């Protein structure tokens, strides 16, 4: 904490990992001697820069942009870009740290990074977003590259923003390379990238239930968020026979006891991606649903829960309420949505709990596959990619089981994911010596 004053999110993320790693390395001198955990928790570099742009009224606006390159021991830096007013260096450091472990778990050669800006795309015109993205890339381009650092989307950065940034990169460098992932299909994007994070989080959930001879059929699911991850998690839950009864945004949550079916989900995607509206509008369109302003959905009784909005959206009280209402499994679609005390509640109750770094790795995994397709200048078929996503999520689940077994049939997936991810990166770092 002394080294990183005021960086509460970053300290929280490191603490969560350190709890497990200290135990794991207690009898392994080589990791101690080389100070591996300390080295992973000190980013390779942090680039911070001014992003200056002009709004539609001709006012000059100034934002701060960052790229945190945490670790490239097992592959080029890789991680999303977030545009949201809550973005700070601490948030991006925590995300880049987590990304390092997550990317290792996918089994693909990718290091960990994260970037973004304290820019709020909400209420901005397309032109304003374009000018901001171009200005952001005008600085970022010198720090990234297909073999150096490959950013992707995250909160506030979807297909539109990636398009503007890729266009600007190409314009400045005169190179058409796989420098970003999450690209449009017309210019080097991969099939199923959009769906991959949400689908993957549900595959992971199904894998956990399978260990208890259970599945998703007939389960009531509570989901938060209504962006890329949330809507696709809801879609896959519905495919597998669960009934999704909630979704949310930063204004509040909607509860639809009849279930948010595929047709309603299509309407929500249109609302969020095209009209850029609020989730509260849902109750005007679909009767029987209710809107709960400034509340999160964790008090709604359910069998499974998927926090898919943002960090620290699920407190220890929320965790207690989920457990009390009989929730048997939680899969984190978002990054670190559960507060550390909430994680402890789930562990104590011994419910199935999948941390984001394992459960939401499907997105970056397909981003890794997008990089492979770009390097080879080919596009793989949808069925092939769908199968690869299933296989990768299976592989991550197996690694968690390998390192997370606590006896009595209980698997601590947080511990499993932390140790498996750490081991791969740490062993690569040991091979490089003191660097
Ligand atoms: P989107 O921007 O598509 O959606 C984010 C959703 O979360 C929106 O519904 C948004 O509501 C809500 N939200 C954002 N910030 C807050 C907040 N402070 N309080 C309450 N609600 C909030 O982002 P994604 O779906 O891509 O990302 C969601 C989470 O998943 C993030 O934690 C991200 O890091 C993680 N993730 C995403 C991946 C991806 O492939 N996209 C990959 C792995 C992890 P509103 O519209 O009101 O802002």
State pLDDT tens for residues 191-201.
Answer: 999 999 999 99
Indicate the pLDDT class of residue 435, thresholds 50, 70 and 90.
confident
Contact at 8 Å (CB) between 66 and 116? yes
Q: Which residues are annotated as a binding site?
A: 78, 99, 102, 153, 197, 228, 367
174 CA to centre of ligand 1 in angstroms: 32
Q: What gap in Å lies between CA 252 and CA 258, rounded to an integer?
A: 19
pTM of the complete model: 0.96
Nearest partner of 311 among 151, 91, 154, 153, judged by Cα: 91
* pLDDT attached to residue 271: 97
| Residue 138: strand, helix, or coil | helix
* pLDDT attached to residue 434: 92
CB atoms within 10 A of CB 312: 16
Contact at 8 Å (CB) between 199 and 190? no
Burial class of 427 by CB neighbour count within 10 A (0 to 12, 13 to 18, 19+): middle
Atom of ligand 1 nearest to the CA of 309: 7
CB atoms within 10 A of CB 46: 15
Q: State percent of the chain over pLDDT 90.
A: 99
Q: What separation in angstroms does the CA of 365 have from each of 53, 231, 372?
A: 33, 19, 11
In the sheet with 243-249, reading across from the earlier edge strand, the strands are 290-293, 252-255, 243-249, 220-224, 304-307, 329-331, 352-354
334 CA to centre of ligand 1 in angstroms: 7
Atom of ligand 1 nearest to the CA of 311: 32
Nearest partner of 73 among 35, 33, 113, 46, judged by Cα: 113
In the sheet with 112-117, reading across from the earlier edge strand, the strands are 45-54, 60-71, 112-117, 77-83, 149-152
36 CA to centre of ligand 1 in angstroms: 31
Q: What gap in Å lies between CA 327 and CA 351, rounded to an integer?
A: 8
267 CA to centre of ligand 1 in angstroms: 18
Contact at 8 Å (CB) between 260 and 247? yes
Domain architecture of the chain: domains with CATH: 43-184 (3.40.50.10860), 194-359 (3.40.50.720)
Q: Which residues are annotated as a binding site for NAD(+)?
A: 197, 228
- The pLDDT tens digits for 252-266 are 999 999 999 999 999
**What residues contact 63, with CB distance under 8 A and at least 6 apart?**
50, 51, 52, 53, 117, 118, 119, 132
* Mutational pocket test of ligand 1: of 117, 161, 228, the residue with most ligand atoms within 8 Å of the beta carbon: 228
Residues with CB under 6 A from ligand 1: 86, 153-156, 197, 225-230, 249-251, 308-310, 313, 333-335, 360, 363
- The pLDDT tens digits for 365-422 are 999 999 999 999 999 999 999 999 999 999 999 999 999 999 999 999 999 999 999 9
Instruction: Average the pLDDT over 12-17 and give the result.
Output: 96
227 CA to centre of ligand 1 in angstroms: 6
Query: For 410, left (φ over 0), alpha (ψ -120 to 50), or beta?
Result: beta
- The pLDDT tens digits for 105-120 are 999 999 999 999 999 9
Nearest protein CA to atom 29 of ligand 1, as residue: 334
Atom of ligand 1 nearest to the CA of 296: 20
Residues annotated as part of the active site: 114
Phi and psi for 329 in degrees, rounded to 5? -155, 140
* Mutational pocket test of ligand 1: of 229, 275, 308, the residue with most ligand atoms within 8 Å of the beta carbon: 229
CB atoms within 10 A of CB 413: 27
Q: 157 has which bridge partners?
A: 154
**What residues contact 382, with CB distance under 8 A and at least 6 apart?**
191, 192
* pLDDT attached to residue 1: 81
Calculate helix-pair angle for 126-140, 159-173, nearest 10 degrees: 50
* pLDDT attached to residue 151: 98
Nearest protein CA to atom 48 of ligand 1, as residue: 250
**What residues contact 239, with CB distance under 8 A and at least 6 apart?**
none
ipTM: 0.98
Nearest partner of 143 among 209, 58, 221, 48, judged by Cα: 48
Atom of ligand 1 nearest to the CA of 337: 32
* pLDDT attached to residue 284: 97
- The pLDDT tens digits for 125-134 are 999 999 999 9
- The pLDDT tens digits for 85-112 are 999 999 999 999 999 999 999 999 999 9
- The pLDDT tens digits for 26-52 are 999 999 899 999 999 999 999 999 999
- The pLDDT tens digits for 265-319 are 999 999 999 999 999 999 999 999 999 999 999 999 999 999 999 999 999 999 9
């Amino acid at each position: 904490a002394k080294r990183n004053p005021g960086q509460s999110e970053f300290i929280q993320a490191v603490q969560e990992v350190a709890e497990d790693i200290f135990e794991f390395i207690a009898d392994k001198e080589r990791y101690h001697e080389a100070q591996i955990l300390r080295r992973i928790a000190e980013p390779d570099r942090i680039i911070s820069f001014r992003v200056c742009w002009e709004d539609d009224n001709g006012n000059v606006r100034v934002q701060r942009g960052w790229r945190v390159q945490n670790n490239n021991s097992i592959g080029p830096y890789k991680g999303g870009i977030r545009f949201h007013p809550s973005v700070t260096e601490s948030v991006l450091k925590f995300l880049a740290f987590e990304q390092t472990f997550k990317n290792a778990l996918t089994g693909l050669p990718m290091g960990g990074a994260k970037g973004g800006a304290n820019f709020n795309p909400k209420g901005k015109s397309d032109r304003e977003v374009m000018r901001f993205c171009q200005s952001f890339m005008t600085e970022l381009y010198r720090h990234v590259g297909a073999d150096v650092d490959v950013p992707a989307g995250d909160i506030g950065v979807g297909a539109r923003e990636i398009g503007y940034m890729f266009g600007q990169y190409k314009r400045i460098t005169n190179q058409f390379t796989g420098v970003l992932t999450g690209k449009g299909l017309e210019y080097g994007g991969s099939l199923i990238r959009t769906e991959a994070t949400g689908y993957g989080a549900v595959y992971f959930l199904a894998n956990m239930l399978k260990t208890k001879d259970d599945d998703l059929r007939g389960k009531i699911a509570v989901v938060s968020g209504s962006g890329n991850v949330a809507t696709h998690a809801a879609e896959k839950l519905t495919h597998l026979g669960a009934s999704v009864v909630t979704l949310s945004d930063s204004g509040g949550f909607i509860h639809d006891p009849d279930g948010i079916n595929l047709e309603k989900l299509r309407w929500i995607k249109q609302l969020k991606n095209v009209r850029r509206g609020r989730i509260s509008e849902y109750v005007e369109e679909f009767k029987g649903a209710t809107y709960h302003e400034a509340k999160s959905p964790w008090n709604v009784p359910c069998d499974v829960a998927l926090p898919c909005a943002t960090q620290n959206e699920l407190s220890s009280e929320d965790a207690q309420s989920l457990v009390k209402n009989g929730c048997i499994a939680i899969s984190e679609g978002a990054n670190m949505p559960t507060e550390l005390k909430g994680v402890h509640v789930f562990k104590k109750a011994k419910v199935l709990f999948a941390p984001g770094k394992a459960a939401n790795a499907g997105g970056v995994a397909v981003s890794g596959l997008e990089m492979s397709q770009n390097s080879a200048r080919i596009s793989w078929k949808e069925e092939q990619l769908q199968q690869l996503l299933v296989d990768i999520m299976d592989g991550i689940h197996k690694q968690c089981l390998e390192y997370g077994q606590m006896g009595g049939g209980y698997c601590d997936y947080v511990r499993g994911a932390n140790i498996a991810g750490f081991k791969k990166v740490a062993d690569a770092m040991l091979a490089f010596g003191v660097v």
